[in-house]
Amino acid sequence: MSGASHPFVLLRMRTAEHEAAAPKYAHLELERRWLVDAATADGLEPRDPIAIHDRYIVGTRMRLRGMRHGGATVYKLTKKYDCADALVRPIVTAYLDEAEYAVFAVLPALTLRKRRFRVSSEGRNFTLDRFEGPLAGLTLAEIEVASEADLRALAQPAWTVREVSDDPRYQGAALARDGIPTE
């Protein structure tokens, strides 16, 4: 029986390209990122550190993350879709328990570690990621907002060097693979 003659047969399957173009299962992450100038960022008073261990699963766009804050640990598996606009990207996240995390943690992956802090500056709340290990010395700031208009209207914070939102060298998997970019 052909799909065209039977009313209950799905005529078109949803693909990753459909999800990237018009998210149905994912949400849009509205985010900008900047390279931080350590000398001018000293007065920001970062607070509430979260220890993050990211595993970028080889051969995929999937990130396995463990986050620790105080006595709590959160595990999640995330996919950020590749798309033309790096500021507005479909993202889907599944929260995992420890046993589920362990299943994915054995897969080949590129890893990085960082501490994430909250900072308030210029009337906005940012996160500050201070990288550890081979990426020590690199600090990135990011902000997520509710609307695309707000996202595009954001001015570069005075304590940053330059925006890296659309620079693929500053994406997590690239940092884990290639290290700190040389300008």
φ, ψ dihedrals at 19, nearest 5°: -65, -40
- pLDDT tens for residues 47-102? 789 999 999 999 999 999 999 999 999 999 999 888 777 777 888 999 999 999 99
In the chain, what percentage of residues exceed pLDDT 90?
56
pLDDT band at 20 (very low <50, low <70, confident <90, very high): low
Residue 16 has pLDDT above 60, yes or no: yes
pLDDT of residue 1: 44
Q: Which pTM was predicted?
A: 0.84
Which domains are delineated in the chain? 26-178 (2.40.320.10)
Average pLDDT over residues 113-140: 93
Helix, strand, coil % (nearest 5) of the chain?
20, 45, 40
Contact 109, 64 (CB under 8 A): yes
Calpha distance 131→111 (Å, rounded): 11
Contact 175, 129 (CB under 8 A): no
Question: In the chain, count of helices (H) and strands (E)?
Answer: 4, 9
- pLDDT tens for residues 139-154? 999 998 888 888 888 8
Average pLDDT over residues 16-39: 80
